[in-house]
Structure 1
């Protein structure tokens, strides 16, 4: 039988806790603009490249098609996006930002920056860089292992 995993030593627990706190802090700042955290990643992707298909948005935001369909329906209802037929393939729609969403971009980006600043308060630039590097590496590791059930490489901690 393996030893229990205390939450304070679990990367998954800590990252999940951090994600919930970040979402809550972001929600407080963007809800007054009629946007919720579940729409935020889609807006950021569209701010970078307006006119993506639903499938392209799913790939960029790492969300399943049914979830994306529901989110886009709400965003359309809320006046944040429109969907227009793709001239290259009439079976697909291009998701485009509305003028309202474009006007919100500075406020939404400022809200995200504020939350990031709050989350990293008291950390040095080197600590923030190291944190980003570690997060990117963990994401890459899990993306590479997606769908595999093999054992992770042994480390000093797992060898104990």
Structure 2
């Protein structure tokens, strides 16, 4: 919870409110944590030949293969302009196939190839390594994740 009232009104040496200091911002802490996650994932994903966004797509497909581009985009919060080139690279790597729906050519379904399915076993090591990098229990990690999911849901409900 963000503090308000007398605590939030403390002044810095320059006479500015402490509540507008960069390090006091929740958004900056989340931004920094996201960058730290990306740096942590990068060397773990390189042996798999995946970038972090590609890894997220693969996670979505390992969970539920045969999704439309639209469904993947909605699940990951990515627009088609970001997702389409990413899927094209995954297809060029031989991990997925893109197939147009013959009944509605606007719909493209993404399915895993055998190579894409096999990559899931290797990805388990990524999950374990991230768990170690976090340096907390599975329960603590789950509580943090749930808190962030709740924050995202509250922020998204504010948009409507």
Give your verdict on TM over 0.5.
Answer: yes
The question of 1:86 aligning with 2:101 is answered yes
Check 1:38–1:86 CA distance in 2 against 1; reply closer, same or farther (3 A cut). Answer: same
Query: Helix, strand or coil for the counterpart of 2:150?
Result: helix
Residue 38 (structure 1) aligns with: 53
Check 1:125–1:115 CA distance in 2 against 1; reply closer, same or farther (3 A cut). Answer: closer
| Deviation (angstroms), 1:64 | 0.9
Residue 55 (structure 1) aligns with: 70
Report 1:1-160 matches (<5 A).
3=17, 5-119=20-134, 121=135, 123-124=136-137, 127-146=140-159
| Deviation (angstroms), 1:53 | 0.8
Poorly superposed stretches of 4+, deviation over 4 Å = none
Residue 4 (structure 2) aligns with: none
Paired residues, number: 145
| Deviation (angstroms), 1:3 | 2.6
Tell which structure's C-alpha radius of gyration is larger: 2
Query: Helix, strand or coil for the counterpart of 2:65?
Result: coil
Check 1:145–1:89 CA distance in 2 against 1; reply closer, same or farther (3 A cut). Answer: same
CA distance in 2 between counterparts of 1:8 and 1:107 reads 38
Structure 1: gaps (5+ residues)? 148-160
- 1:7 touches 1:14 (CA, 8 Å); kept in 2? no
CA distance in 2 between counterparts of 1:7 and 1:115 reads 27
Check 1:6–1:71 CA distance in 2 against 1; reply closer, same or farther (3 A cut). Answer: same
